[in-house]
Structures are given as C-alpha cells and as structure tokens.
Amino acid sequence: MEELYLRDDLARAWSGADPFERAAAVTGDVYRAVANRRTVRFETGGRAYFAKIHGGAGWGEILKNLLTLRLPVIGARNEFEACRHLAGAGVSAPAVAGFGERGSSPARRFSFVVCDALDGRDSLEDVLEGWRVRPPSPADKWALVRAVAAFAAELHAAGVIHRDFYVCHLLLDRKAWSSGRAELAVIDLHRARVYGRIPSRWLRRDLAALLFSVLDAPLSRRDWLRFLAVYRGRDWRDVLREEGELWRAVHRRALALYRKGRRKGLVAAERAGS
C-alpha cells in the first residue's frame, strides 16, 4: 500500500529522490521528537515548511490506546485530511505541501505530512501569558475572546474535532493583531477527526480542553459568557437556558483536567477549587 501527494514546489525541491527517503532524512529545527514521530521545521527551495514524520506506531502502542478507549494515532493521515478539509471549508490551518504513506500494516506503516510554515504568528498561550505582566485593554481582550469563539465555531461547523484543542495550538497573526485584527490559525492536527455530524461527547471534550487551557488566564466569567454568545451566535442567556447541561459538563470536565494537571505538576495556580 502506497499513497503519495506532492505539491509542485515540494516536488521540484525533492526532484530525483525517493520522497519517502527524503522525508525520513529531513533535517532542520526539531520541535518534537517522540518514539515514533518527529516534527521538524526545514527550508528548501526558498520556502519554509513543517514536516511530521511518523514511523510505525507498533502494536503495543495501538493496543494500549484501544484498551484505554482512546483512538490511536498511527500516522500522518489524520493531519493531512484535517488540513485539506479545513482549507476547503475556509478555516485557517497549515496548507499541505506533501503527504506520503507506505506500508500495509498499521503498526509498521511509515507516513509523513509536510505543510507550509505559519511564520509571523504567536501562540495564544504565549499571548495570554504576556497578559499577566501587561494586562490587555478591555477592547483587546474582547477582540481576542470574540475571535477565539468565532474560530472554534467555524472549526466545529466544518465537522472537525481537534482532540487537543488548547490555546497553545491556536496561532495569532502578529501583523494583523498590531493593526487591531485578531486572525487565528489552528495547528497540530495529528489527532483531529472529521465528522459529518460531530458526536456530542467529542464536542464537549474539545470545548473543555479549550476552557481548561485558559483557566489560569486573566479572564472573567463575563468573558466566558461573551464566548458562549459568539460561539452559538445568540444571547448567552438563551444558550444557557437551552444548553445548560452541555456547558455545565464542559465546565466540570475542564476543572477535572485542571486538577489532574496540578497533580502532575503541569499547572501551578490555585484555581482548581473554583
């Protein structure tokens, strides 16, 4: 089994070489390296890219995920399909320059996805951290809350669940923000799933992950209510009256994730009991 897609620019840069061998040997700035996956920023042909290279996950990893009722990530296909799907839906995500998959066994399959680098952007996690030192103006805070809510609504309306929907995976365009426009893009879609209709439990998980990731940020209950209004496109009072159980479940799960993070030393603030 083999599948290969190379956009013209990457095909020219990798001309004369086996694309799978070229992907496996790519070098540059390593952003992540785990047992079976590397994320590397590299430049070739005058352009900057991010490559995610997946080796075989192994049956042990696949079985471990299945036994804990988690969907295993066994290659680059999720990210490839999610990025292409979002591009078609007009939701900002990395543009795919290349994808390859080789091997019939899911435990040994080699795959890669290469996307354009999203330069000139800051992680929202870093932006919010900066707010601790220099609080934003009310207008800036509201603009960003509105932008995140609208982006989350567009992502989910497109049928995509991120499955790691934290603010660190949302990037803010630096130039646009300096001009007063909050333009976002989503990254790290290797666990994403595309649905015709999103199951409610996955929607709750995505929204809870987003809320969890801002519990330490200088945001108020009013900001959260503003988020609800923009995300659902109607008055927050109507949202809570009609969907109260959904949003209570989102809040409970976010707090549970926060407490778990504190136990593991991943968060340090004192809001888990709030």
Residues catalogued as catalytic: 164
The Cα 75–Cα 72 span in angstroms is: 9
CA distance to 107, 127, 147, 220, per residue, from 142 (Å)? 46, 14, 8, 11
Residue type, 99: F
Phi, psi of 92, deg, nearest 5: -70, 120
Classify residue 24 by burial, with Cβ atoms within 10 Å: 0-12, 13-18, 19+. Answer: middle
Residues 149 and 230 sit within 8 Å (Cβ to Cβ): yes
Token pair of 194, please? 């595309």
Nearest one of 137, 148, 138 to 184, comparing CA atoms? 148
Residues 274 and 211 sit within 8 Å (Cβ to Cβ): no
The Cα 31–Cα 52 span in angstroms is: 10
Token pair of 53, please? 């290279």
